[in-house]
Chains A and B, each alone.
Chain A
Amino acid sequence: DAGVIQSPRHEVTEMGQEVTLRCKPISGHDYLFWYRQTMMRGLELLIYFNNNVPIDDSGMPEDRFSAKMPNASFSTLKIQPSEPRDSAVYFCASSLLVTSGGALAQYFGPGTRLTVL
Chain B
Amino acid sequence: RKEVEQDPGPFNVPEGATVAFNCTYSNSASQSFFWYRQDCRKEPKLLMSVYSSGNEDGRFTAQLNRASQYISLLIRDSKLSDSATYLCVVNLGNQFYFGTGTSLTVIP
Contact = CB atoms under 8 A, between A and B. Distances in A.
Interface residues of B, number: 19
A108 B98 contact: no
A103 B46 contact: no
Nearest to A42: B100
Nearest to A35: B98
B98 A111 contact: no
Main SS at interface, chain B: strand
Range, interface on chain A? 20 to 34
A45 B42 CA distance: 17
B46 A42 contact: no
Interface string A78-104: 000000000000010000001011111
Greatest chain B CB density within 10 A among A43, A91, A102, A104 is at: A43
B43 A103 contact: no
A12 to B, nearest CB: 16
A25 interface: no
Say whether chain A's binding surface is mostly helix, strand, loop, or mixed. strand
A48 interface: yes
Contacts of B32: 102-104
A42 B101 contact: yes
A109 B42 CA distance: 9
Interface in B58-108: 87, 89, 91, 93-96, 98, 100-101
20 contacts: A33-B96, A42-B98, A42-B100, A45-B98, A56-B94, A56-B95, A91-B44, A100-B93, A101-B31, A102-B91, A103-B32, A103-B96, A105-B34, A105-B46, A105-B49, A106-B46, A106-B89, A108-B43, A108-B45, A109-B43
Interface of A: 33, 42-43, 45, 48, 50, 55-56, 91, 98, 100-111
Given A48-B94, A110-B43, 6 more contacts: A42-B98, A45-B95, A56-B94, A91-B43, A102-B32, A105-B46
